[in-house]
């Protein structure tokens, strides 16, 4: 018999530093037969977007690949602990300013990271002097431009995806504004009927009155790895405070609890508008602060505006990767 405190998850119907110049890179080196990590002795910039911990590395002069083991080692306490690592590679598409690969601290890759893209954009704005940048990620092209004040940037996160097989989900759901999924006792679920959407990575938004009333550190990983999400999912709790204001907490896929998740803010804003809880322009309050989100009506692109902060610069100790 299941104990009362156990969870059952069911699909019920089935401080700014100096401007950063170009970050020098080093090619991977060979020592005997061992390939030294692309990150060994490599420069990085530690930043954050509303407390979402970001590390930026510039690999535009290298064709090196960051392995999952390397990404995990870099995130260790002896490295530069982060939620996401943003690696800038040479542009693959004419007219773009670079290809960005995004690594979670568990070594997995993400298709999008709004807070991280603002950090990358600010570094590149300072280096290039440009007032608009376009990056390519595995999820598509991302346009960025500086805000009206220093350390503020806007990122065009593209268009959301709502089809079940594009999010993706493991089985068909005709209407992804609310799907049949619950956690807790079958007759009295703790959470149920989330909205689901992809903002370059899959998101589930559970509508609640108080985002602090749930143990998201316990519930989050259970739902992240639910079979309905074949690529796992970001799990958010969202409270609607008004037609223009949302409060959101997120368990990030591959990173855990974070102070801010930009794509989750976008997913919540889009889902709230789609379910007529809000309009298309809202303030999203996260544990780390506020983001301004607009789901632009003329083309359905999602625009995210918010701050970045520089913390420190450094180089990765090669010893971190000895066992990677």
pLDDT for 153-172, tens place per residue?
A: 999 999 999 999 999 999 99
| Catalytic residue (choose from 119, 144, 238, 261) | 261
Is the pLDDT score of 26 beyond 60?
no
Whole-prediction pTM: 0.86
Angle separating helix axes 262-274 and 114-128, nearest 10 degrees = 120
Lowest mean pLDDT among 37-41, 71-75, 193-197: 37-41
Bridge partner residues of 289 (DSSP): 286
Is the pLDDT score of 15 beyond 60?
no
Catalytic residue status for 261: yes
Residues 277-303 have pLDDT tens digits of: 999 999 999 999 999 999 999 999 999
CA atoms within 13 A on the CB side of 243: 3
Q: What is the mean pLDDT of the chain?
A: 90
Pairing state of beta strands 289-295 and 302-307?
antiparallel
Please report which confidence band the pLDDT of residue 35 belongs to, taking 50, 70 and 90 as the band edges.
Answer: low
Please state the length of the chain: 324
What distance in Å separates the CA atoms of residue 73 and residue 161, rounded to the nearest whole number? 33
Dihedral sign computed on CA atoms, order 64, 115, 151, 54: negative
- Residue 188: predicted pLDDT: 92
Judge contact between 269 and 238, C-beta under 8 A.
Answer: no
- Residue 6: predicted pLDDT: 34
Catalytic residue status for 238: no
Please report which confidence band the pLDDT of residue 322 belongs to, taking 50, 70 and 90 as the band edges.
Answer: confident
CA dihedral 70, 72, 75, 77 (to 10 degrees): -110
Residues 189-212 have pLDDT tens digits of: 999 999 999 999 999 999 999 999
| Catalytic residue (choose from 113, 119, 238, 266) | 113
Which run of H or E residues covers position 134? strand 133-137
């Amino acid at each position: 018999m299941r104990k009362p405190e156990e969870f059952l998850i069911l699909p019920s119907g089935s401080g700014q530093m100096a401007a950063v110049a170009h970050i020098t890179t080093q090619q991977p080196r060979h020592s005997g037969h061992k390939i030294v990590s692309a990150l060994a002795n490599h420069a990085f910039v530690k930043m954050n977007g509303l407390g979402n911990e970001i590390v930026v590395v510039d690999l535009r002069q290298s064709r090196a690949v960051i392995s999952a083991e390397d990404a995990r080692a870099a995130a260790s306490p002896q490295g530069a602990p982060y939620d996401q690592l943003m690696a800038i590679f040479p542009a693959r598409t004419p007219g773009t300013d670079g290809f960005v690969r995004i690594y979670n601290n568990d070594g997995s890759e993400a298709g999008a990271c709004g807070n991280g893209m603002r950090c990358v954009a600010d570094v590149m704005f300072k280096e290039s002097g440009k007032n608009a940048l376009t990056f390519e990620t595995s999820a598509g092209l991302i346009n960025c431009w500086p805000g009206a004040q220093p350390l503020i940037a806007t990122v065009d996160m593209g268009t959301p995806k709502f089809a079940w097989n594009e999010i993706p989900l493991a089985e068909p759901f005709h209407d992804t504004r609310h799907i049949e999924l619950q956690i807790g006792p079958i007759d009295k679920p703790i959470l149920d009927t989330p909205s689901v959407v992809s903002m370059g990575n899959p998101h589930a938004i559970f509508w609640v009155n108080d985002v602090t009333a749930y143990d998201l550190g316990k519930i989050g990983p259970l739902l992240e790895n639910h079979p309905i999400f074949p690529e796992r999912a970001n799990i958010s709790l969202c409270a609607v405070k008004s037609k223009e204001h949302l409060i959101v907490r997120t368990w990030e896929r591959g990173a855990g609890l974070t102070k801010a998740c930009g794509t989750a803010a976008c997913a919540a804003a889009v889902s709230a508008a789609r379910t007529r809880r809000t309009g298309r322009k809202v303030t999203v309050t996260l544990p780390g602060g506020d983001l301004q989100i607009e789901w632009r009506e003329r083309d359905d692109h999602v625009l995210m505006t918010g701050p970045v902060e520089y913390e420190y610069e450094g180089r990765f100790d090669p010893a971190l990767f000895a066992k990677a």
